[in-house]
Structures are given as C-alpha cells and as structure tokens.
Amino acid sequence: MKKKLFIFTNESFFTQDEKFFCDNIDLKSSPEGLNKKFEVNLFGRKSSKKRAHEIKLKKLKIFSNIFSYLSEVIKSTKIDDTKFLVISITPYTFFICLFLRLYGKTPIVYLRSDGYGEYKAILGSIGKLVYHCMFTITSLFSNFISCRNYILRGKKGKVVNPSQLDSVWLRKPKNQEVKNFKLLYVGRIRVEKGIFSLATLIKNKRDISLTIVGAEKNTSYRINQSNINIQLTQSNKVRLIKYYDDHDIFVLPSFTEGHPMVLLEALARRRPVIVFEEIEHVIGDKKGIFVAKRNFLNFFATLNHIKKNYKKIQKDMMKNKLSTNKEFIEEFVKAIDDFK
C-alpha cells in the first residue's frame, strides 16, 4: 500500500467540470510523477482565471482563503503514515509549515528557486528581509530539498535536478539559419522574471523580434511593442517544441533563478541561450549559454557573437548531458524517502 504524501503549495489552480488546471508545468508534472510512488494529495489556492495545464490527480483540493486552507492542514496531521511536502516558502506556505510543526509534524520544504532574489526583485530590500525571516524560522524545524546547493544557504538539505525532458524533447532539432534575430522567452510575465527589462532593452529595434510564450488568460500585464509577439502559456508539448525550433536564440532575462527547466528545454533543442549576470550561476558545465549585461550594446554584441558562431555553438551543445524528468522524479522520491 502506498504511503500518503500531502503536497501544499501557494500555486493557484482553476477548476472547471471537475478538472483542475495550473500554469506552472512543474506543479503538474512533479505531483503526477510522485503519485506513482505515493498516494499524493495536492492542496493549493483557488483561482478565477483559466490556466493552461490539466493536472491528472484524483485528490486535489483548493481553497479561497488561508483559514479554510489551514483548517485542512490541521485535518491532514491526524492521518497516520503520512509525509508532508511544502513547495517553496511564501507567506501562505510559511504559515502551513508553522501549523504542521505546531501539530507535531516535520515538513519537507522543496526550495525551487532563490527566494532571497525573488523577494528582492519584487519588494526591494524589505522583501529580502521578509524572506530571510521566513527562511530562518522554517529552517529550524523543517527538512529541505533544493534544486541548487547555494539556495540552502548553508543549511542541511538534499539537492535534486529538476527536468521536464523526455524522448520527444531529445529528438533531432530543426535546423535554423540566423538572419534577423528571432528571440524566444518561455515563462511567466512577471517583474522578477525580467521580461519587462528585456522588452525595454529591444524597444524600437527592427532587426530583433521577441516571442513570449507564457501569458496567462485574462492577464493584467501588457507589453505593447511592434517587435514583441505574446502567446498564451502552451500546454501542448509538440507545439511548444515548435516555438523553440522556429526561433534562433532563447533569452532567460530573470533577476533570479534556481534551476530553470526552460533552459534545459532550449539546450535540448540546441538553441543558444542568453542569460544576464544576476543568474550566471545557472550555466554550470553546460555548453551554449552566454552571459550579457543589461545594456543594449553588450546584449547586441552577444547576439552577434552567437550569430557568427552559430553552427559551432550548436555542435558544442551536442556534448551537454541533460537529465530527464524520469531521473528527476527518481531523485525526488529518494530524497523524500530518506527523511524519516
């Protein structure tokens, strides 16, 4: 009989016709993958906005306020032979961790990104302080799993390597000739993701176009530039791969990142990647990733370097060893099992 795994997240889920949807692909694939080993119960916030990815889980509950959410957390602590996985540290999940501890449970907290950087990008210095308080308190009574060692900030924890890749992603990519620069960004349209900074960088540049795949339905964010094409979050894998194949260069403009899976997707399709100095740590031993400064002259010089050496860069990228989603789930299961 499978052990129960309760997963708590700050993610917003949309429900329609007894089906549940989210925009973050990791909040779909990871619980689904873990459900093969555990009996997963997923909990999140209720959203009125339509979302892209259908979650194939039988047990999923959503809540419209923190009080009903915490009430369900308390009920879950009364069930025997159960583990409790909390996704990221946010004000919502911070209180969930506190209540789990109050009722004698030890939460396993999965740190998917650098909260210090994210909160600073959103709220400035006060945001960094807020996250530091939540992180420090949570670390006193929780077990940590992280996608990067530095995110643990010296605390004990296990490190896993997230990936969405499978055999479809790893098929031979389409050949591409670089003429005018066709840039691609796949991800959420958020301030901390740096997409507005990138838009400003290429404003009024006729020989550079950017496609953004990641707009939510009924979003309040707007980018009105003639050289920018915004598409909704893409749930169809084949269509998403086509976006990568139809563009020359992938740009990840985030101010903070832990282990960005879109970077692995771009490398799998052998599309060179540009990141900025704040997240150059994501490069590791990977070929085909270039660091630019957040000014147009340096950014354009980086684009031209990639254009002149495109074929050689793609050849070097073939040496990359890219982990798969299957390998990631196996790592994740082992990390959870190791916490008694």
Give the range of the structural domain holding residue 34, as residue numbers without chain letter: 4-163+326-338
Q: Specify the pLDDT at position 245.
A: 96
What angle (nearest 5°) sits at the alpha carbon of residue 193, between those of residues 189 and 199? 70
End-to-end Cα separation, the chain, in angstroms: 18
Q: In terms of domains, do 106 and 194 share one?
A: no
Residue 86, domain member (yes or no): yes
User: What is the C-alpha separation between 139 and 150, in angstroms, rounded?
Assistant: 14
Number of domains in the chain: 2
The enclosing domain of 113 has a CATH number of 3.40.50.2000
Give the CA distances from residue 268 to residues 100, 241, 246, 292, 318, in Å, rounded to whole numbers and listed in that order: 40, 10, 14, 21, 9
Q: Which residues are within 8 A (CB) of 314 and not within 5 positions of it... i.e. 6 or more apart? A: 270, 272, 288
Q: What pTM was estimated for this model as a whole?
A: 0.85
The strand order across the sheet containing 273-276 reads 228-232, 208-215, 181-186, 249-252, 273-276, 289-292
Average pLDDT over residues 324-339: 95
Residue 104, domain member (yes or no): yes
Give the CA distances from residue 17 to residues 11, 54, 190, 219, 233, in Å, rounded to whole numbers and listed in that order: 20, 12, 29, 22, 21
Q: In terms of domains, do 60 and 193 share one?
A: no
Q: In the beta sheet, which residues pair with residue 208?
A: 181
Q: In terms of domains, do 73 and 47 share one?
A: yes
Residue 245, domain member (yes or no): yes
Question: Does 325 or 117 have the greater pLDDT score?
Answer: 325
Residue 172, domain member (yes or no): no
Q: In terms of domains, do 312 and 331 share one?
A: no
pLDDT digits (tens, 9 = 90+) for 204-260: 998 999 999 987 766 656 788 999 999 988 888 999 999 999 999 999 999 988 888
Q: Specify the pLDDT at position 219.
A: 60
* pLDDT band per the 50, 70, 90 thresholds, residue 136: very high
pLDDT digits (tens, 9 = 90+) for 280-324: 989 989 999 999 999 999 999 999 999 999 999 999 999 999 999
Q: In the beta sheet, which residues pair with residue 20?
A: 15
Q: In terms of domains, do 155 and 217 share one?
A: no
Q: Specify the pLDDT at position 121.
A: 82
Q: In terms of domains, do 228 and 100 share one?
A: no
Q: In terms of domains, do 158 and 201 share one?
A: no
Residue 28, domain member (yes or no): yes
Residue 39, domain member (yes or no): yes
* pLDDT band per the 50, 70, 90 thresholds, residue 25: confident
Q: In terms of domains, do 185 and 310 share one?
A: yes
Average pLDDT over residues 42-59: 91
pLDDT digits (tens, 9 = 90+) for 158-200: 999 999 999 999 999 988 888 899 999 998 888 888 999 999 9
User: What is the C-alpha separation between 212 and 189, in angstroms, rounded?
Assistant: 8
Residue 170, domain member (yes or no): no
Q: In terms of domains, do 119 and 234 share one?
A: no
Helix (H, G, I), strand (E, B) or coil at 190: coil
Q: Specify the pLDDT at position 118.
A: 87
- Report whether pLDDT(74) > 80: yes
Q: In terms of domains, do 111 and 217 share one?
A: no
Q: Whose CA is closest to 8, among 147, 116, 125, 105?
A: 105
CA within 13 Å, CB half, 312:
5
The overall average pLDDT reported for the chain is 93
Q: In terms of domains, do 17 and 143 share one?
A: yes
Q: In terms of domains, do 52 and 198 share one?
A: no
Residue 175, domain member (yes or no): no
